[in-house]
Homo-oligomer: A and B are copies of this chain.
């Protein structure tokens, strides 16, 4: 472990960006948050603000001259090109491609910047600091507003031919009459198993039945409401998670057939509903696996400290610089 070098991790989210100075042990020495959504379509203004915030936390941690590089996780971030392109939730990168890594590096006096999408960053974070430590083959699934994924094969993130590998949220899980996904396709995993998908399932089931449920009193149901209802013993809410877990499990069985991972690691807001998701996922996955894998693939839930996880994931990228 190099005690004299440090990295910066940046997690670019739709509303806020979290950043921190991290040591080789994964301790966050200084951190900060800036808004992502107050710069309109002006990418340069956002990146300038980010560069200033980075300089500030480096100074705060008293590590000037000891920073090896900056790792950034961002929606639609491309590892090969360093660009963020057509990211619907980032106004300044929604309608074109932004040379993010290059621009940020320039504003930081040439400090190397490595960029990838948020799910890949999370995978690197888990492998470096989390439950996947020591694993060479695993799949990270992020269950948030959408469903993202980062695939690790032989100890390396799979970027593919063009840097966009690992879009497992947009593989098919319901072929017949599948829900329309935000991407325009039908029946994608994300349309069912994201936070938005879970809320939608609950709303659909409430509409199509007369079953009693405390969710009937909730306006604009979110996945958090469904979780609270399940915790309160609401039968319909519990079944929503069983259904979500069943769908995740059958998709996971196909993912296992691809890369034969040691584990599938779940991360993100929805993964906090572990108590209702774990068994349905595991049972459904094992039902759909080939005999050689039945009972052998672990389903793990990230245990990284919520507030640090995103920063750690992104920062871990910078160690490879």
Q: Which residues of B contact A165 (CB under 8 A)?
A: 137, 258-260
Interface: A172 (CB within 8 A): yes
The answer to whether B262 touches A172, judged by C-beta atoms less than 8 angstroms apart, is no
Whole-angstrom distance between the Cβ of A163 and the nearest chain B Cβ: 7
Give the residues from 143 to 179 in chain A that come closer than 8 angstroms, CB to CB, to chain B. 151, 153-154, 156, 158-168, 170-172, 174-176
In the complex formed, the residue of B with least CB distance to A186 is B288
The answer to whether B260 touches A161, judged by C-beta atoms less than 8 angstroms apart, is yes
Q: Which residues of B contact A262 (CB under 8 A)?
A: 161
The answer to whether A260 touches B291, judged by C-beta atoms less than 8 angstroms apart, is no
- Total interface residues on A, CB under 8 Å, equals 44
Interface: A184 (CB within 8 A): yes
Q: How far apart are the CA atoms of A260 and B149 in the complex, in Å?
A: 13
The answer to whether A172 touches B261, judged by C-beta atoms less than 8 angstroms apart, is no
In the complex formed, the residue of B with least CB distance to A292 is B164
The answer to whether B167 touches A290, judged by C-beta atoms less than 8 angstroms apart, is yes
The residue from B137, B174, B291 contacting A184, defined by CB atoms under 8 A apart: B291
The answer to whether A168 touches B288, judged by C-beta atoms less than 8 angstroms apart, is no
Whole-angstrom distance between the Cβ of A179 and the nearest chain B Cβ: 14
Interface: A254 (CB within 8 A): yes
The residue from B137, B166, B172, B175 contacting A176, defined by CB atoms under 8 A apart: B175
Interface: A255 (CB within 8 A): yes
The answer to whether B170 touches A290, judged by C-beta atoms less than 8 angstroms apart, is yes
